[in-house]
Amino acid sequence: MAGYEYVSPEQLAGFDKYKYSAVDTNPLSLYVMHPFWNTIVKVFPTWLAPNLITFSGFLLVVFNFLLMAYFDPDFYASAPGHKHVPDWVWIVVGILNFVAYTLDGVDGKQARRTNSSTPLGELFDHGLDSWSCVYFVVTVYSIFGRGSTGVSVFVLYLLLWVVLFSFILSHWEKYNTGILFLPWGYDISQVTISFVYIVTAVVGVEAWYEPFLFNFLYRDLFTSMIIGCALCVTLPMSLLNFFRSYKNNTLKHNSVYEAVVPLFSPCLLFILSTAWILWSPSDILELHPRVFYFMVGTAFANSTCQLIVCQMSSTRCPTLNWLLVPLFLVVLVVNLGVASYIESILLYTLTTAFTLAHIHYGVRVVKQLSSHFQIYPFSLRKPNSD
């Protein structure tokens, strides 16, 4: 298993022919962030590998997740009558979130600046982005938390899925059209949330208890913005781009079945995880919300990474992610009825297995592509230059 090769020879051959094609029409990105990133990238030394910048940004997102997990493990810290997250934590999280977002914006510019752009760099970037979704959403949840003034853990679970499906839509588009249409919601959400973290440190979480307009609470605004952005911006634009490609006869897959194959595993993951929540004898989501979110987000990231490999190599996406098999078995066992502590053990075991499997997948894919392209993933030196 240690030497298992996830990328097939056919996919490696497809990577050799790959050409990056992306469209960014977001005004915030085009007129504000890109000029800012163009300035920032000049600070980095030319010997600094782009993938190291990408990985550093990802680690900052993970650090924010772990920091907030320490101060708000069960999402009650922002509720009235509970010990709140210290103000300095909100400041740190806000700054690091914006720094991580900035690093994610300059890594590609550093690659072009140092003439080191490779398919591995794009795969590495987008693969980590797919895993960052769950870290980002769950960390944001602590602003409102649960309780009388917050959002229920089940509502946050649904909002997490809105974000996950919004993310995968972009790569589903590219799988079918050959062009990555960068979503508007990403830049807007990153800048807004970074600002909200800092504001929370200044005004305190109590400020979010008050109505935003009439009886419309800030938590309702938070929920409405996520759903509204997905339904009114992300989904319509994805379908429009897909339709345009269809009209221009540039779709890469002719049948409806082949076009939607990449969505099978994410949809099945949603069905199985939701079934577990609804059938859980111990109300597992209420008991371990953070772990459950992480389990779902990790399984989703693995399916998304497989899709990205396939769309970049112009190969067929797998119909089923085999990580869903143990999840199906766990849901089946839970439906038969188990003790509360057994269900918790199953959740933690499955989460650990998913995490190790996903890390193994990522490490092996990076090693395969590094060997194939004869590059070091975190250095600009060539192997034959040693």
How confident is the model over 229-248, as a mean pLDDT? 89
Report the distance separating Cα 246 and Cα 90, nearest Å: 46
Q: What is the DSSP string of 311-361?
A: HHHT-PPPS--TTHHHHHHHHHHHHH---HHHHHHHHHHHHHHHHHHHHHH
Domain assignment present for residue 379? The answer is: no
3-state SS assignment for residue 381: coil
Q: Is residue 205 part of a domain?
A: yes
Q: With respect to residue 381, please indicate whether it lies within any of the assigned structural domains.
A: no
Which has the closest alpha carbon to 273: 323, 213, 311? Answer: 323
Residue 180 phi, psi (nearest 5): -90, 110
Q: Please give the structure tokens belonging to residue 321.
A: 């992610």
Give the structural domain span for 179.
9-372
Q: Which helix (H) or strand (E) holds 86?
A: none
Asked if the model's pLDDT at residue 43 lies above 70, the reply is yes
Q: Which of 165, 204, 186, 203 is nearest to 85 (CA)?
A: 204
Count of other CB atoms within 10 angstroms of residue 18: 15
104: in domain = yes
Under 8 Å CB-to-CB from 263, ≥6 apart: which residues? 168, 172
| Residues recognised as catalytic | 126
Q: Is residue 378 part of a domain?
A: no
**Chain segment 353-384, per-residue pLDDT in tens:** 999 999 999 999 999 999 999 998 888 776 66
Tell me the per-residue pLDDT of 303-318, one tens digit each, with 9 for 90 and over. Answer: 999 999 999 999 999 9
Q: Does a structural domain hold residue 144? A: yes
Please write the tens of the pLDDT for every residue from 57-78: 999 999 999 999 999 999 999 9
Asked if the model's pLDDT at residue 348 lies above 70, the reply is yes
Sorted by sequence, the CB contacts under 8 Å of residue 277 that are 6+ apart come out as 154, 157, 284, 285, 292
What is the bridge-based pairing of β-strands 211-213 and 180-181?
unpaired
Query: Which ranges of 114-234 does DSSP label H, i.e. alpha helix?
Result: 119-141, 153-177, 184-203, 218-229
| pLDDT of 385 above 70 | no
Structural domain contains residue 322: yes
Could you tell me which residues are beta bridge partners of residue 180? 22
Q: How many domains does the chain have?
A: 1
Please choose, from the candidates 127, 97, 67, 66, the residue with its C-alpha nearest in 3D space to the C-alpha of residue 294. Answer: 66
In a domain, 1, yes or no: no
CATH number (domain holding residue 135): 1.20.120.1760
Secondary structure class of 173 (helix, strand, coil): helix
Q: What is the mean pLDDT of the chain?
A: 92
